[in-house]
Amino acid sequence: MARYIGKRLIYMFITLALIATFTFFLMKILPGSPVASADKLSPEQRAVVEARYGLDKPLPVQYFDYMFGLAQGDLGISINQFKGANVTDVIQSRMGPSAQIGFQGMLLGTFLGVLLGMIAALRQNTWVDYSSTLVAIVGISIPSFVFASMLQYFFALKLEWFPVALWKDGFMSSVLPSIALAMFPLATAARFIRTEMIEVLGSDYITLARAKGASGSEIAFKHAFRNALIPLITVLGPMAVGILTGSLVVEQIFAIPGIGEQFVKSIMVNDFSIIMGTTIFFSVFLIVVILIVDILYGIIDPRIRLSGGKS
């Protein structure tokens, strides 16, 4: 296990270093540097600006400065969106709302999805099963921004049950965005749990439990459900990716002051240091989540250890 974790950690650092290197050179190629309007500056002013951003040093030195900064969590300075603010601070200040709707969406989606998948498996090939499969297919198919704008149109604009946008009414503001984000984990969990449950229900120890005279609900919850739930950990990674991708558009639609909304805005105004900083932040987040998921799964299900991780 230790060897497996070590191997994964090494890969993680190689991947992150690659992304960071790539982003560094991208920032060099792309237009919109701090000295973009250099013609208007006197040579002295220009030197001051360049020194401030460390642009007067040779490229390799800049690269290592950047990499060392990254290692200490320094993502650089915003160019035009938050004039001169530290990118790390910007991201930190916007983490709260994103984390809240992300978690709420994840919890709600997984809970409902597991419920739906379980019911579908227990009532296999009935209308219950078909309608839950339909919900899952629709949930995977409809893009989050379509679903979010539908929610906003019907529940906020027409019915006026929830605020249309912004982050001013506490929990009420987070309801619609969380539901919009919940669709993907819901659909994923429902499909996954259904398949797992059906497989588990067909296994020998369920037959044995039935032969011993265990009741239907006892079999469903005590034996089948528990064993079907474990592999759900493997889809937590894709779910986190889905939530994060969704958050970019959902936050945009509901005007939530989170990381996703700020990211989209920085794309609009070409603030590359914010774009790069957020990209690196997203990469670290997703890579760490997937690493944790894989390690967790290896600990919970010892069969994984033999093959050294899922292929």
Partner 1 sequence: MTQNLEKLPKGSFERITVSAEQAERISKPSVSFWQDAWYRLRKNKGALVSLVLFALIVIMSFLGPVISPYEPNAQTITHANLPPKIPVIENLGIFDGVGTLGGKEVDLYELKKVEVNYWFGTDGLGRDMFSRVWKGTQVSLFIAFVAAAIDMIIGVIYGGISGYFGGRVDDIMQRIVEILTGIPNLVVVILFILIMDPGILAIIIALTITGWTGMSRVVRGQVLKYKSQEFVLASRTLGASDSRIIWKHLMPNVLGIIIINTMFTIPSAIFFEAFLSFIGLGLQAPDASLGTLINDGYKLIQYQPHILAIPAVVLSLIMIAFNLIGDGLRDALDPKMKD
Q: Is the CB of residue 26 less than 8 Å from the CB of residue 270?
A: no
Q: Is the CB of residue 292 less than 8 Å from the CB of residue 216?
A: no
Minimum separation from the CB atom of position 199 to partner 1 (A):
8
Nearest CA to 121 among 2, 59, 30, 203? 203
Minimum separation from the CB atom of position 243 to partner 1 (A):
11
Q: Is the CB of residue 6 less than 8 Å from the CB of residue 291?
A: no
Minimum separation from the CB atom of position 254 to partner 1 (A):
12
Please, which residue, 16 or 233, has the CB nearer to partner 1? 16
Residue 214 within binding range of partner 1, rule CB under 8 A: no
- Candidates 11, 64, 205, 221; binder of partner 1 (CB under 8 A) is 11
Q: How far apart are the C-alpha atoms of 85 and 88, rounded to whole Å?
A: 9
The residue assigned the tokens 């937590």 is: 236
- Contact stretch for partner 1 (CB under 8 A) within 53-61, 94-102, 165-173, 243-251: 243-251
Please, which residue, 11 or 68, has the CB nearer to partner 1? 11
What are the structure tokens assigned to 243, written together?
Answer: 């939530």
Indicate the SS3 state at residue 239.
helix
Please, which residue, 37 or 141, has the CB nearer to partner 1? 141
Between residue 20 and residue 49, which ones bind partner 1 under the rule CB under 8 A?
A: 22-23, 26, 29-30
What are the structure tokens assigned to 91, written together?
Answer: 């991201």
What are the structure tokens assigned to 210, written together?
Answer: 């039935």
Nearest CA to 91 among 261, 290, 288, 272? 261
Residue 311 within binding range of partner 1, rule CB under 8 A: yes
Residue 140 within binding range of partner 1, rule CB under 8 A: yes
Please, which residue, 108 or 148, has the CB nearer to partner 1? 148
- Candidates 41, 49, 142, 255; binder of partner 1 (CB under 8 A) is 142
Burial environment of residue 122 by CB neighbours within 10 A (0 to 12, 13 to 18, 19 or more): buried
Indicate the SS3 state at residue 19.
helix
Q: How far apart are the C-alpha atoms of 151 and 145, rounded to whole Å?
A: 10
Minimum separation from the CB atom of position 164 to partner 1 (A):
9
Count of residues near partner 1 by CB under 8 A: 42
| 297 alpha-carbon distance from chain centroid | 19
Q: How far apart are the C-alpha atoms of 78 and 90, rounded to whole Å?
A: 9
Please, which residue, 30 or 107, has the CB nearer to partner 1? 30
Residue 128 within binding range of partner 1, rule CB under 8 A: no
Minimum separation from the CB atom of position 141 to partner 1 (A):
4
Interface ranges with partner 1 (CB under 8 A): 11-12, 14-15, 18-19, 22-23, 26, 29-30, 137-138, 140-143, 145-146, 149-150, 152-153, 157, 241, 244-245, 248-249, 252-253, 264, 267-268, 272, 275, 279, 282-283, 286-287, 311
